[in-house]
Amino acid sequence: MPLKFFLSFKGILSTINFFVLPKSIIVVFLLICFEYYLDIKYFMNISLLKPTLCCSVVFSTSDGLLLGLDIKSIVMIFYLLYVLIIISSIIKNAFLGFMASFLFLFISYYSVVYFFGTYIYELPTHHCPFCMLQKEYHYVGYFIWISLFFSVFFGIISWMLKWMISEKTDIFYKYTMIFSTIFVALCSYFVISYYIKNGVFL
pLDDT tens digits for range 161-185 = 777 776 667 888 999 999 999 999 9
Q: Quick one: pLDDT at residue 170?
A: 81
What average pLDDT does the segment 10-14 reach?
A: 51
DSSP letter assigned to residue 12: H
State the Cα angle at 36 between 22 and 21, rounded to 5°: 10
What average pLDDT does the segment 24-48 reach?
A: 70
Does 182 lie in the same domain as 97? Answer: yes
**pTM for the whole thing?**
0.74
Does 123 lie in the same domain as 28? Answer: no
State the Cα angle at 49 between 138 and 145, rounded to 5°: 30
What distance in Å separates the CA atoms of residue 85 and residue 98, rounded to the nearest whole number? Answer: 9
Does 114 lie in the same domain as 155? Answer: yes
Supply the range of the domain harboring residue 98: 57-198
Q: Quick one: pLDDT at residue 159?
A: 84
- Cβ(100)–Cβ(85) under 8 Å? yes
Number of structural domains the chain divides into: 2
Q: Quick one: pLDDT at residue 19?
A: 45
What average pLDDT does the segment 78-104 reach?
A: 94
Does 13 lie in the same domain as 61? Answer: no
Last residue of a domain, one of 50, 66, 85: 50
Does 99 lie in the same domain as 143? Answer: yes
